[in-house]
Chains A and B, each alone.
Chain A
Amino acid sequence: MDPAGPGPAREEDQLNRCTVTSGFFVLGHCGRTAVAPCAQCGRPTCQEHYGPDGLCAECRAAASPTRSPYDEQWVRGYRRGYYSRSSQTYGDATWYSGFDEYDRGAFNPGQGHYLGDYDHDGDDGFVDS
Chain B
Amino acid sequence: MRFWKRAAKRQVHPLHMGLVGRKQLSVSLRPAEWAELIDSLAWQDAKRRSAWAPPEEARELLMPIVRAVLEDVPPDGTLQVTTDLRGLAPQDKAGPRRTLPAPPAVERTEWYVTDPWLRLRADLRDGSVLDLSVTDHVRHRRTEKRSRSGRLKIKVKTKGVARVSATRTLPRGAAVRRPATPPPPFVSVRVREGERTVIRTDAKLAVDAQVRPTPERILDVLTELFRWTPPKAARRTS
Cβ–Cβ contact A78 & B68, under 8 A: yes
On whether the beta carbons of A86 and B126 are closer than 8 Å, the reply is no
Q: Which residues of B contact A86 (CB under 8 A)?
A: 219-220, 223
B71 & A70 in contact (Cβ 8 Å cutoff): no
Of the candidate stretches B86-94, B139-147, B178-186, the one touching chain A is: B178-186
Separation of A68 and B237 alpha carbons in the complex (Å): 28
Contact of A27 with B231 in the complex, beta carbons under 8 Å: yes
Q: Which residue of B lies closest to A105 (CB)?
A: B234
Q: Is A28 interfacial (CB-CB < 8 Å)?
A: yes
Question: Of B38, B223, B225, B237, which one neighbours A95 at CB under 8 angstroms?
Answer: B223
Partner pick for B125 among A19, A23, A89, CB 8 A cutoff: A23
Contact of A24 among B63, B71, B216, B220 (CB under 8 A): B71
| Inter-subunit contact B236/A14 (CB<8 Å) | yes
Q: In this assembly, does A39 line the interface, its C-beta being within 8 Å of a C-beta of chain B? A: no
Q: Known interface pairs A25-B72, A82-B216, A94-B180. Does A75 touch B67 (Cβ–Cβ under 8 Å)?
A: yes
Say if the beta carbon of B105 comes within 8 Å of chain A. Answer: no
Are A22 and B181 in contact (CB-based, < 8 A)?
no
Interface residue? A26 (CB, 8 A): yes
Q: Is the CB of A91 within 8 A of B181?
A: yes
Question: Which one of A19, A68, A92, A102 lies within 8 Å of B179 (CB-CB)?
Answer: A92
Instruction: Assess whether A74 is interfacial by the CB under 8 Å rule.
Output: yes
CB pair A92–B227 under 8 Å, yes or no, is yes
Contact with B along A63-87 (1 / 0, CB 8 A): 0000011110011001100100110
Whether A29 lies near B216 (C-beta < 8 A) is: no
A54 interface contact, C-beta 8 A: no
Contacts of A74 in B (CB 8 A): 67
Pick the contact of A28: B42, B125, B181, B226 (CB < 8 A). B125
A69–B64 CB distance below 8 A:
yes
Give the bracket for the number of chain B residues in contact with chain A.
35 or more
Count of residues in A whose CB is under 8 Å from the partner chain: 36
| Minimal beta-carbon separation of B102 from chain A (angstroms) | 42
Taking a contact as CB atoms under 8 Å apart, the answer to whether B223 and A69 are in contact is no
A68–B225 Cα gap in the complex (Å)?
26
A69 touches B59 (CB 8 A): yes
Tell me the nearest residue of chain A to B128, going by C-beta: A26
B69 within 8 A of A: yes
Q: Does B131 contact A (CB under 8 A)?
A: no
Whether B231 and A78, one on each chain, are in contact in the complex, defined by CB atoms closer than 8 angstroms, is: no
Give B61's nearest chain A residue, CB to CB. Answer: A69
Does the CB pair A26–B124 fall under 8 Å?
yes
CB distance from B124 to the nearest CB of A (A): 5
A42 sits at the interface (CB 8 A): no
Contact of A28 with B64 at beta-carbon distance under 8 Å, contacts A22-B71, A68-B59 already known: no
Q: Given contacts A86-B219, A92-B180, A105-B233, is CB(A24)–CB(B41) below 8 Å?
A: no
Give Cα A94–Cα B235 distance, bound, in whole angstroms. Answer: 18
29 A-B residue pairs with Cβ-Cβ distance under 8 Å, sorted by A, are: A17-B237, A22-B71, A24-B71, A25-B72, A25-B223, A26-B72, A26-B128, A28-B237, A29-B236, A29-B238, A30-B237, A31-B237, A68-B45, A69-B59, A69-B64, A74-B67, A75-B67, A75-B68, A75-B71, A78-B68, A79-B71, A85-B216, A89-B220, A90-B183, A92-B179, A94-B230, A95-B227, A105-B233, A105-B234
